[in-house]
Amino acid sequence: MAVDKPTEHHLRVMPWWLVLIGLLVAAALGWLVLDLLLTEADRASQPDTRAALRIDAIRTGLTVVAGTGGGLALLLAARRQWITERAQRHQESVATRDQAHRNRVQAHAESVAEAAQRHQDRQSGAAEHDAAERRLTELYTRAVELLGNDSAAVRLGGLHALERLGQDNPGQRPTIGAVLCAYLRMPAPDDEPRETEVRRTAQRVLTRHLRADDAAHWPEVTLDLAGARLIDFDAAGCTLVDADFTGAVFAGATSFAGASARGRLLLGAVFGDVVLDDLSADDEVVLDGAHVGGEASLDRAAFHGGLACRRASFDGPVSFHGARFGQPANFDATRFADAATFGEATFLSGLSMQHTEFAGRAGFRAARFADITHFRWTVFGAEAVFDRARLEGPTNFGRARFCGPASFDGAWFSQPPQVDQARATTEGGHVWPSGATVRPLDDEWLLLVDP
């Protein structure tokens, strides 16, 4: 900040003759007063009075001279005091400017020192960052090299090295997750015990850090395991972000129980036994083309983004008991070779089971269908149970075939279902909804007629 300098006036030295003139003026004034008074005293008529007046005149003249001299002395003293005060103000002004200059010099020095320190800190930080990056790169490269070793034990060490690297460096977790997924996608020797153990370890490293209750949660990792071969894959309680298992082969028991899916969950894979109980998915879950060779349990699963399960096949029992579908659910052309249970399930936004085949029992007891429901061309190969079901939207059973008993005991329809060309066996012991019209077609089949 600039400091305004005070305006200074040069002090002029009093000349000696000015003092002499002052003395002469004082003497002249005294002489003039004395002369006037003596002249007045001489005009007195009495000699005694004249003498007294002359003495008073002399005394008065001397007093005037003394007073004038005193006045001059007072002026000189006042001037001396003024000069002294001005000198003091000048010294204070000079001291203030000196102090301001010293402060500016000190501030500049501190600024230069601070800038130098910042520069040094930046250089030091850059050097540390470069050293850390080099060390991280070396560790990462070494761990990846271990994964390519011929020894299973060395590969296990590489997996644990990558896990520790991810623990210590959160920014590397997505890359490490991608490397582990890529390793699991690579072809593996069939039934090679040591490689199987390595792959199980890779699976555990991935799923361990995808669980929300894990102290070292890796929420930024996504799973791309399309086409991978997975053994006893356990993702129970995991948070799956845009996970892709399309074309994967799940050997043994697979669990997604209690998992939380963010983004699409692609499960068009081959399973043995699979458990998805209490799964919560905020986007679409895709099971198109999936094949389940064993049991499938999806009890209480919440499909907020809907379910696509077209052209899938389930060889064992399937259960969707208490499942909730927030968006449309599509099971077109899917085959259920064993019992399929949808008891107390809730379909809030439509259901399509066109050309679907139920070879075993199809259970929809107490299910709720809040929107349009399609069972066109659906084949119920065994018992079909819709007891106490609520069908609140348009329902279409056109050309469906009931090869076993059909029961709609206590079912409620908001409007009569469409049953165009639907058929049922004559030996079923059926319980049709109120108002349904059925007539014999031949010795083996009954024909349902639209009201």
Domain residue spans in the chain? 16-114, 219-449
Q: Are the CB atoms for 285 and 308 separated by under 8 Å?
A: yes
Distance CA 257, CA 274 (A): 9
> Which CA distances in Å does 389 have to 15, 70, 384?
126, 128, 12
Within the chain, how many helices (H) and strands (E) appear? 5, 36
> Which CA distances in Å does 263 have to 175, 276, 305, 342?
19, 17, 9, 25
Q: Are the CB atoms for 418 and 398 separated by under 8 Å?
A: yes
- What pLDDT tens digit does each residue of the chain (451 aa) get? 444 555 555 656 666 576 677 667 767 776 776 667 667 666 665 666 666 766 777 777 677 777 777 777 777 777 778 778 888 888 888 888 888 888 998 988 888 888 888 888 887 776 676 665 666 667 677 877 888 888 889 989 989 888 888 888 888 889 889 999 999 999 877 668 888 999 999 999 999 989 877 656 787 789 999 999 999 999 999 999 999 999 999 999 999 999 999 999 999 999 999 999 999 999 999 999 999 999 999 999 999 999 999 999 999 999 999 999 999 999 999 999 999 999 999 999 999 999 999 999 999 999 999 999 999 999 999 999 999 999 999 999 999 999 999 999 999 999 999 998 999 999 878 999 888 889 998 888 999 988 7
Residue 181, φ and ψ in degrees, nearest 5: -65, -40
Q: Are the CB atoms for 407 and 430 separated by under 8 Å?
A: yes
User: pTM for the full model?
Assistant: 0.73
Q: Are the CB atoms for 313 and 360 separated by under 8 Å?
A: no
The predicted pLDDT at position 11 comes to: 58
The predicted pLDDT at position 141 comes to: 78
Print burial letters for 208-232: b (CB count within 10 Å at least 16), e (below 16): ebbbeeeeebbeebbbbbbbbbbbb
Q: What is the DSSP letter of 402?
A: E
Q: Are the CB atoms for 315 and 338 separated by under 8 Å?
A: yes
Print burial letters for 26-58: b (CB count within 10 Å at least 16), e (below 16): beeebeebbeebeeebeeeeeeeeeeebbeebe
Which two tokens mark 183?
Answer: 């390793």
Q: Are the CB atoms for 158 and 143 separated by under 8 Å?
A: yes
How many residues are there in the chain?
451
Backbone angle region of 388, left / alpha / beta, with phi > 0 → left and psi within -120 to 50 → alpha: left
